[in-house]
A and B are shown apart, each in its own frame.
Chain A
Amino acid sequence: MKKLILGVGVILFLLTMVSSAAAVRFSIGGFAGLNLPVAQDDASSGALFGAKGRILILPFMGLEPYFTFSKYGGKDLKVQEKSFAQEGGDITSFGADLVLGSLSAMGKVKIYGLAGLNSNTYKREKLEDESGVGLAFGTGFEFLPQEMLSLEIRAKYHAIKVGDGGKAHLEFSGGLNYYFGSE
């Protein structure tokens, strides 16, 4: 896990340096949305929010480092006709997605696909924290009413390795990005 974190950190640092040196276009932004668990009987939907950057490596390819805090909603477990509320848990994730699409194309609407690796910590009350690698892929739309500002919506499938099992959820989010540099 430490190697993964270190690796992601080094790559991001190098890309930042390269993009700065080459005056490549990049953005920073924030997002918020909904986290929907996929086939998890012990959790319900919750909120998510986070921050991300995007560095355009090539006209059709970008790298997005990000940090996300998401929450699983709780679930009531019924035992012997009695209902007991169970906490869903919190997930903190950071990682990077490779974004492919019409990123620097002219026009006000851009469509892209994304996939990436991330590191996650899953926290639940009264249970030990679990850390695990994760994988995400999805798609998004970006609208640019101005050259430097964009509005974005995206859907992402995010699976996390917890022990030898996996927990997956769909992330639906919307956010704002501010761009630096020119195309």
Chain B
Amino acid sequence: MKMKRRSWTIFAAALFATLFLSGCWLFGITLVLHYDIDDEIVSTDTVFNSVAIDLTEEQDWKDNQDKLDEIYSMLFYGYITNYESTPATGQLYVYKDGSLSTVAEVQSKAILVLDGLALPSDSTLEVPLIHMVRIDHIRDLVMEGKFHLYAIATNVPFDIRVFDATVVVIFAVEAIL
């Protein structure tokens, strides 16, 4: 009986030690945050703007900013209008700020997160809620909570507008025990 009791004690101690040494991922919480983008992106092959995304404005983010563990996924929803009479292929990029001013700069410095958006000529595409790619490349930027979104097309000339867009961020935070 003594041996049995001692084994239980050792087992319980080992379990608790493992729990503490393993970190807080054992009790992680996954949250979903919706960020509606009020501004539009108007983009041609010569002039364009980006939109600032500031997750730190959001209450869920504010409440958990110091407990962020991981960005699991980011999704995009919105409308893109192609004003040209030829079809275009849209792309979305993420960069730390709004300083990029040429298409070449965007393509070389920013991180491509959505590609292959087929934009029919003279029409508007509703982009359904889709996962952005290469999250591991923008993870640190998103963890900071502030970044810019750029939209361009791969063909020249292009003239597109992104509006009524929403970014959804799925992230992990430590639980408070």
Contact = CB atoms under 8 A, between A and B. Distances in A.
Interface of A: 39-43, 58, 60-61, 77, 79-80, 82, 84, 86, 98, 100, 115, 126-127, 135, 137, 159, 161-168
Interface string B17-39: 01100101111111110101000
Contact of B29 (A39, A77, A127, A161): A39
B69 interface: yes
Contacts of B130: 126
Contacts of A79: 34, 77, 129, 166, 168
B137 to A, nearest CB: 12
B152 interface: no
Contacts of A84: 77, 128-129
A98 B73 CA distance: 34
B31 A77 contact: no
B112 interface: no
A127 B36 CA distance: 23
13 contacts: A40-B30, A60-B4, A61-B7, A79-B166, A115-B15, A135-B26, A162-B70, A163-B70, A163-B72, A165-B72, A165-B173, A167-B30, A168-B28
B25 A159 contact: yes
B117 to A, nearest CB: 15
A163 B170 CA distance: 13
Interface in B52-79: 69-70, 72-73, 75, 77
Contact of B7 (A40, A100, A126, A166): A100
A135 B24 CA distance: 12
Given A79-B168, A84-B128, 13 more contacts: A39-B30, A40-B29, A40-B30, A42-B170, A61-B7, A77-B75, A100-B7, A100-B11, A115-B11, A159-B26, A161-B25, A168-B27, A168-B28
A152 B149 CA distance: 53
A58 B32 CA distance: 46
Contacts of B170: 41-42
A159 B129 contact: no
B72 A162 contact: yes
Interface of B: 4, 7-8, 11, 15, 18-19, 22, 24-32, 34, 36, 69-70, 72-73, 75, 77, 128-131, 164, 166, 168, 170-173, 175
A40 B77 CA distance: 22
B7 A60 contact: yes
A79 B4 CA distance: 56
A77 B32 contact: yes
Contacts of B69: 163-166
Contacts of A168: 26-28
Contact of A166 (B4, B25, B128): B25
Most buried by A among B69, B77, B128, B129: B129
A77 to B, nearest CB: 6
A135 B164 CA distance: 43
Nearest to B22: A135
Nearest to B18: A135
Nearest to B172: A165
A121 to B, nearest CB: 15
